Amino acid sequence: MLIRFTVFVLVLLLFWSCEEVVELDVDFEPGLVVVSEIAPDRPVQLALSRSRPILSQAPTEYVVADQVTIINRETNQLTDLFLQEPIKDTLNPDFEVYPYYFSGEEVIDAAANTYDLNIKVAGEELITASTTIPNPVSITSLSLRDYGESDDPREDDTYDIKFDLSFSHNERMAENYHLVFYFEYILEVIEETDTNYFVLSQVPTVQSLTMSTPYTSDFENGILIKGEDLASGLNSLEAVLSVNFNKDSSPFAPQLVVELRNTNADYHNYHFSLTRQRSQRDSILSQAILVPSNINNGLGVFSGYNYASEAIELNE
């Protein structure tokens, strides 16, 4: 009797532990996704793709439009954007490349101007969006405290960059900020009798950042700061960045470029929401984060920023 009971319990547990795969029959209509952030003195770039279901593992589907234009509402200047086919970067084989639309010239000529975006895609409604360029900003000071190899013996060719930065905040001139960092160096490549030089750039890792104002680490580069959290007047911070760099491949000292962007609300809300979404996307118990969109008949962002940049040479 005991043996029969034991066998019964084991069989019951076996079937109890079986998983049943449930297919979710959810209707999904892919939409067009637009991502473009414009600034003075910089050519316009725009990515156009189709949205995917949240559980999809398929690669991104990029879309070819019939026409993409940017119009300055104040001057009525119209600029066409043209499709740029991806070219693999042989110096950075792991760098992701994708097709995008490009103005080929600097078309953003002033702060406070409004720009309209129009995209025509066969079989789709006209996609439109508008954005305004914020006011200029300036970096008050940028100074290097230290630059040298990392103290961690497990990290080869890793360097730490320690610096101080200050800027002045005026709530009537700036709403939100995006502080971004670039590490730039010249790579020397010798082929037989020829010597070629290539300017390369990488996004440093933010190891630590100290300031009196709360900030959010951006999903792409740098940190996001809400203007309402800043005190009027001078604000300062200390930062430590980490980069991977083989100094023997470059005959010249590298440099750190720090860029302070004054961003409009659409820019800030998009980056802030997408950062929160990506930071918790691996947990099924996380609250859903909706990324805002200002695109008519589509998804994504068309936003503007103004900026100031400073560079410092890095010498050990």
More confident of the two residues 194 and 176: 176
Name the average pLDDT for the chain: 86
What are the counts of helices (DSSP H) followed by strands (DSSP E) for the chain? 2, 19
Question: Reduced to 3 states, what is the DSSP secondary structure of residue 81?
Answer: coil
139-269+305-313 CATH fold: Immunoglobulin-like (2.60.40)
Classify domain 29-132 by CATH number: 2.60.40
50 has a pLDDT exceeding 90: yes
Q: What is the pLDDT of residue 94?
A: 59
Q: Please report the pLDDT score of residue 107 as a whole number.
A: 84
Question: Can you give the pLDDT at residue 277?
Answer: 83
Residue 296 scores a pLDDT above 60? yes
Q: Spell 267-299 as b/e; 16+ CB within 10 A means b.
A: bbbbbbbbbbeeeeeeeeeeeeeebebbbeebb
Whole-number Cα distances in Å, 267 to 99, 218, 221: 22, 12, 14
- Rounded mean pLDDT, 245-261: 91
pTM given for the model: 0.84
Give ranges for CATH 2.60.40 in the chain: 29-132, 139-269+305-313
Angle of CA points 95, 222, 282, to nearest 5°: 70
Question: Which of 55-69, 82-96, 178-192, 291-305 is the most confident on average?
Answer: 291-305
Average pLDDT (41-68) is: 89
* Res 42: pLDDT: 92
Q: What is the pLDDT of residue 243?
A: 94
What tens digit of pLDDT does each residue of 197-233 get? 888 899 999 999 999 999 999 999 999 999 999 999 9
* pLDDT, tens only, 91-103: 555 556 688 999 9
Segment 221-224 long-range contacts (CB within 8 Å, at least 24 positions apart): 221/180, 221/181, 221/182, 222/178, 222/179, 222/180, 222/181, 222/259, 223/178, 223/179, 224/176, 224/177, 224/178, 224/268, 224/271, 224/272, 224/275
| Residue 300 three-state SS | strand
pLDDT digits (tens, 9 = 90+) for 111-159: 778 999 999 999 999 999 999 999 999 999 999 999 998 877 677 789 9
Percentage of residues in the chain having pLDDT higher than 90: 60
Query: How confident is the model over 72-83, as a mean pLDDT?
Result: 93
